[in-house]
Structure 1
Amino acid sequence: MRAFAPGSVTAVFAPGETADQSKGASVAIADGVVADVREGDADESVVTVGGDPTDFDPVELALETLGVSARSDLTAEVPIGRGFGASGAATLATAIAANAEFGLDYSREQLVEVAHRAEVEAGTGLGDVFVQNRGGLVVGDGGEPRKFERETPIEYASFGPIATDEALADDDLMATVAREGSATLDALPDDPTLADLTREAWDFAEAIGLPTDEVREAVADVEAAGGVASMAMVGETVFAVGAEGVLPNRTEVCPEGARLR
């Protein structure tokens, strides 16, 4: 059984009320992850990416929680570990596909929670799956987020990974993220455009000190072409709106969430 989950670009985030929650502003994108799940050959689940076996902790944890031994073959349309929520997309798509493949009868809400808990335990994310479950532009937290339909094209370029688990474990960084992220989210308009969000997100990225020289150069190129750009959280990745042909990759907002294929 195959399922797809969109990638997600988090523009702004801050810790939530508990350690396993976050709040933020993110957009689901049409480029994502496909999981092809079927019964495994042994008592231990196997995960592959592009045909190569790999350790993929959140996917394995989700399958364990669902109580199945399975093979999940992942096809990633976005780079893994570079701010596209690939681990969340892989985990959510796997959970949805496994539920159908094995006739588990979990509700959609339960599957999202399984994927979220697996991400938290693995240290790979705090809220991507909530965005990937809904699609669109999502602002808020996992409990009561606001979803906005948007059709603005998005360009992006990725230069390298930033370890999410290390960033989330950096107490000084997270204290700054909590302060600056909350202030940025509070400053967003009630009905934000992607340009509004991206503009505010760049101020946030600079305030927390994550942009590298390559990121700054790409953002400057987009701004010189009349667009706005910022940095994906968390990865050495730039996303942009309002410019065409400046960055090498072009996608669009995914209006709906994860689903069987």
Structure 2
Amino acid sequence: MFIPGHITGFFTIHRERDPLRTGSTGVGITVDKGVITEVRSGKGKIYFNGREMDLCPIREVLNNIGIKGYDIIHRSQLPLGCGLGISGGCALGCAYELGKIINPQMDKLELLKIAHISEVRCGTGLGDVIGQYFGGFTIRRKPGFPLDVKKINIRDKNRYYIVIEVLGRKETKDVIEDPNWIERINRVGDRLLKEILKDPTLENFMRLSYVFAKETSLASEEVLSLCEDLSFSRGASQAMLGNTLFVLCTDEEIEDVLSVLKNPITCRIYEGKHG
């Protein structure tokens, strides 16, 4: 089961006692690199790119589904903990694969809920799995469930690349559970959500993502400097929440973008739906 990577450009944080109603509003996009999940008979071990790891969201999915005797194997083209939705992709892929074992006709929306609850409880994400469920360019207008998501049609999508440069890791939990960060993020994110709904284009998404990264002070100086160097592109900003740069560019700009970066990961926009 392949689940695409997901990049959030800007967001707000909403917490309720019910984890299904906890989540984020915001805007993001899926890319054609992500994580492949397999389930095999075993002893309940979890592997990520060949290394045994105790990934909290996967353990939560296993506990929520209540199934034993299987190993979970993840193979990813993108790293964990860098704002690329990989923990969410692991959780969603795991839920889908285990769901096939329990009941091949099981509603994918119910499996999405399990993945979302797992991310919320582990503090690893608030909305990635929802973006990954729909695929493409999405606006999450309300947090959690019931879902309120607007999927934006991308004209000439094959013209575009998303180029990623991972500069380091950042702990999502350190931000989304800190009251000071929450107040700042929500103040800026609420305003920008209204703006994107008036003009829901990729270029406006990138512009507002940069505004969010700068005004919230979530962006590192290294990311902001690279954004200036890449001002000739269709937009550059920091993937939330990670110390990771992402750039939107066209066929005409791709070579110049790659020349600026040290370790670029070149992606296309992925619009496949997993619901």
Assess same fold via TM > 0.5: yes
Aligned counterparts, 1:5-16, within 5 A: 5-16=3-14
Query: What is the root-mean-square deviation of aligned Cα atoms in Å?
Result: 1.6
1:86 Cα deviation after fit: 0.5
Match of 1:113 in 2: 113
Q: Is the 8 A contact 1:149 1:255 kept in 2?
A: no
Once residues 210 and 222 of structure 2 are traced to their aligned partners in structure 1, the CA distance between those partners, rounded to angstroms, is 14
1:144 Cα deviation after fit: 1.0
Corresponding residue to 2:246 among 239, 244, 255: 239
Once residues 90 and 199 of structure 2 are traced to their aligned partners in structure 1, the CA distance between those partners, rounded to angstroms, is 30
Match of 1:52 in 2: 51
Q: State the AA in 2 paired with 1:195.
A: E
Match of 1:206 in 2: 214
Aligned counterparts, 1:165-204, within 5 A: 165-204=173-212
Once residues 102 and 33 of structure 2 are traced to their aligned partners in structure 1, the CA distance between those partners, rounded to angstroms, is 27
1:32 Cα deviation after fit: 0.8
Deviations 1:82-104 (A, max 9, x none): 00010000000011011113436
Q: Is the 8 A contact 1:83 1:234 kept in 2?
A: yes
Residues 248-257 or 117-126, more deviating: 248-257
How many pairs were matched up?
253
Unaligned runs of 5+ in 1: none
3-state SS in 1 of match to 2:227: helix
Match of 2:151 in 1: 147
Q: Is the 8 A contact 1:6 1:257 kept in 2?
A: no
1:169 Cα deviation after fit: 1.4
Q: State the AA in 2 paired with 1:11.
A: G
Unaligned runs of 5+ in 2: none
Once residues 30 and 116 of structure 1 are traced to their aligned partners in structure 2, the CA distance between those partners, rounded to angstroms, is 21
Match of 2:37 in 1: 35
Corresponding residue to 2:266 among 250, 256, 261: 250
1:64 Cα deviation after fit: 1.3
3-state SS in 2 of match to 1:91: helix
Query: Alpha carbons of 1:73 and 1:196: their partners in 2 closer, same or farther (altered >3 Å)?
Result: same
3-state SS in 1 of match to 2:219: coil
- TM-score normalised by the chain length of structure 1: 0.92
Once residues 91 and 148 of structure 1 are traced to their aligned partners in structure 2, the CA distance between those partners, rounded to angstroms, is 25
Once residues 89 and 149 of structure 1 are traced to their aligned partners in structure 2, the CA distance between those partners, rounded to angstroms, is 22
Q: State the AA in 2 paired with 1:228.
A: G
Once residues 226 and 50 of structure 1 are traced to their aligned partners in structure 2, the CA distance between those partners, rounded to angstroms, is 32
Runs of 4+ deviating beyond 4 Å: none
1:39 Cα deviation after fit: 2.4
Q: Is the 8 A contact 2:5 2:132 kept in 1?
A: yes
Q: State the AA in 2 paired with 1:255.
A: E
3-state SS in 1 of match to 2:218: coil
Once residues 197 and 209 of structure 2 are traced to their aligned partners in structure 1, the CA distance between those partners, rounded to angstroms, is 13
Match of 1:83 in 2: 83
1:220 Cα deviation after fit: 1.4
Once residues 94 and 210 of structure 2 are traced to their aligned partners in structure 1, the CA distance between those partners, rounded to angstroms, is 33
